[in-house]
Structures are given as structure tokens and as C-alpha cells.
Amino acid sequence: MKKLSDLGERKAIQIISDILSKGKVAVGIGDDCAAFEFEKNYLLVTTDMISKKTHIPKMMSPWQIGWFIVAINLSDIAAKGGKPLGLVLSLGLPKNTSESFLRELIKGADKCATQHDAMIVGGDTKENNEITLCGTAFGLVKKDEFMARKGTKPGDIVAVTGTLGNAAAGYYALKHGIKDRQMLKGFLEPTPRLKDGMALAKTKVVTSSMDISDGLSSSLYQLRDLNKVGFEIDKEKIPLSLMLKRKKGFDAYYHAMHFGGDYELIVTMPKNRFMEAQRAVEKTGNNLTQIGRVTKDKKIMIKTNNKTRVLENKGYEHFIKRRYS
């Protein structure tokens, strides 16, 4: 009999998805959010669970843990072009958790929510052996602005917001005792790209979209499987985190592609609409960079100095491997 450690998270999700009854929901399992029809809008719903053992780095402060669980949920709303409404937050905490830990955690969660025009409206608080947090975020998006994971075609270009590798740089700082607040924030206090998501949605040019939480390579493989396409990525075009570039003896591109934890958005669109999308994102104060093309051949290739090789999927998958040691 197979165990979850043999199956991995994505196979487990496939099993769950196969069992669940399907119905009138517009978008179900397999996208960043579920979506219900609500007159001319979709109601977006997404949930994320994290626990001390596998998802919360030891050095994360209670305030940052609170920020993080809200940020990763809002990131899923962002990836669909949604405007957040609010969140509920469930806390599983050991009996000996201090009152100050609880207070700091809630302050961090509240700060991340209010800073992004969302509100924490409820939750649950229960005893658990392990610190376990579960957030559920809600948002709205106009039906014709919803950015699904599925929809891209060969010939589209693929682009990412911001820079990649900020989380990897923060992790490096943490591991090496570098007290650079900006570096650490990249890993411990990610920014959900809500403004970028809403700006991109309004252009109506995006043919597929997701957040890059599990790493660029993992995201590309997920988009490939869903869209039955391939990708050709230009390695030198990947917008590297400035903080990663600074580190010597550190394969910046490798970390930017595989480490994950960046919560930027990856989007596809017709080639001739890229400038429009780029301008929309720039108005929010962020960048949109074309990093490659969608191909008919279902491989994921990385191109550098006119040499092309397969980009392996080294992103994060739960149950099978863990990111933080």
C-alpha cells in the first residue's frame, strides 16, 4: 500500500480531485483559486496550510509567520487578477504557546491583510502539537478578467513580474548569519503581487497565469501539463534578484529557477500584446520581463549562448522533499 511519501503532493491532489463530485463551480481544483459565478463576477477562494515542521523556517519571527500565511493566500488571489475581500485564519497552537507569540502572529497577519486592502474576518483557534496555520482568502474578479492557469497556446510569450531569487537570497542570508533586513525580507516577508495581478487582468491579454511559489521550473512544468505545451526559456533574460547577483560562489540562475518562495507571477500572452501588459505592470511600480516562448513541442528547454538543454523540474514538492533543513 502506497504512502503519501511515495505519492507526493501533486499525485495526492490528483487522487483527491478524482474522488470529489464535480458540479456547477466555474473553476475547481487545479488552479490557484476555485471560482464561483457571482453575477458578472467570480468569487475566488483559496486556502493554504503551513506548519512548523515543513514550512516555517526556524528563524521566522511570530510576526513574520502571521505575515507569511496571509501573503501566500493573497498571492493566489493575485495570480487570478482578483481584488481581495478578506480572509479567515485558523491557528493550531501548542498549549505552551505564549500570549506574546499569539499577539505578534496576529499583528503580522493583520498588517499583511490591511496593507493589501483585505481584512481578517474570522478564524478558529485550537490546540495542536505542532504550530499549524491555515488561511483561506476570498476575492472578486470580473469574469472576463479572470486569469486561469489554462489557456496558453504555442506562439505566446512567457513573462514574470519582478525579479527571481529574492527568497533564495534571503535564505542564504539566514544560513550565513547576514543581518541584511532587505535580503531576509525576500524570504521571510514575501509580497503578494495583487496590484500586478489586477493590472494584468484589466488588460485582458493574459492567456495563463499562476504564482511562482514553488519555483520557476516547477511552475513551468505545471503549466506545461495543464496546457499541453512546452516552453523555451532564455536563461540570460531571467530577471535575477539584485541580492542574488551580489553573492560570489553561488549559482544565482540555479537558485532563481529552482528555489521557489518568490511569489512573483508567471504569465503568458500573445507576443504582440506584451508591451501593453508591461506598461500596465510598470504603472504599479513593478516590472514585467519576457523570459521565453510557449512551444508546440512539450519540452521545457533553457537556452543560453545558443545552446539549448532541458530545464529539469527541481521545484519544491511536499511529502517527497523539503526545502528547509
Other beta carbons within 10 Å of 222: 18
In the bound state with its own copies, the residue whose beta carbon lies nearer, of 110 and 180, is: 110
Nearest distance in Å: CB 60, its own copies: 16
Distances (CA, A) of 171 to 98, 211, 277, 316: 27, 19, 31, 15
Q: Which of 320, 265, 229, 325 is nearest to 11 (CA)?
A: 320
Which residues are 127's β-sheet partners?
Answer: 93
Residue 92 CA, chain-centre distance (Å), reads: 23
Helix 166-175 to helix 181-188 angle (10° resolution) is: 120
Nearest distance in Å: CB 273, its own copies: 29
Three-class SS state of 136: strand
Nearest distance in Å: CB 171, its own copies: 19
Nearest distance in Å: CB 104, its own copies: 10
**Inter-residue contact 209 to 267 (CB < 8 Å):** yes
Nearest distance in Å: CB 235, its own copies: 32
Determine the Cα–Cα distance for residues 15 and 109; give it in Å rounded to an integer: 32
In the bound state with its own copies, the residue whose beta carbon lies nearer, of 9 and 180, is: 9
User: What's the chain's Rg over C-alpha atoms?
Assistant: 19
In the bound state with its own copies, the residue whose beta carbon lies nearer, of 298 and 322, is: 322
In the bound state with its own copies, the residue whose beta carbon lies nearer, of 3 and 58, is: 3
In the bound state with its own copies, the residue whose beta carbon lies nearer, of 126 and 179, is: 126
- What is the grid cell recorded at 113? 491583510
With a CB cutoff of 8 Å and minimum separation 6, the contacts of 306 are none
Determine the Cα–Cα distance for residues 79 and 34; give it in Å rounded to an integer: 12
Nearest distance in Å: CB 163, its own copies: 27
In the bound state with its own copies, the residue whose beta carbon lies nearer, of 38 and 242, is: 38
Q: b or e along 72-99 (b: 16 or more beta carbons within 10 Å of the residue's beta carbon)? A: bbbbbbbbbbbbbbebbbbbbbeeeeee
Nearest distance in Å: CB 111, its own copies: 9
Residue 245 CA, chain-centre distance (Å), reads: 22
Nearest distance in Å: CB 89, its own copies: 8
In the bound state with its own copies, the residue whose beta carbon lies nearer, of 197 and 292, is: 197
In the bound state with its own copies, the residue whose beta carbon lies nearer, of 55 and 193, is: 55
Placement of cell 495570480 in the chain = 79
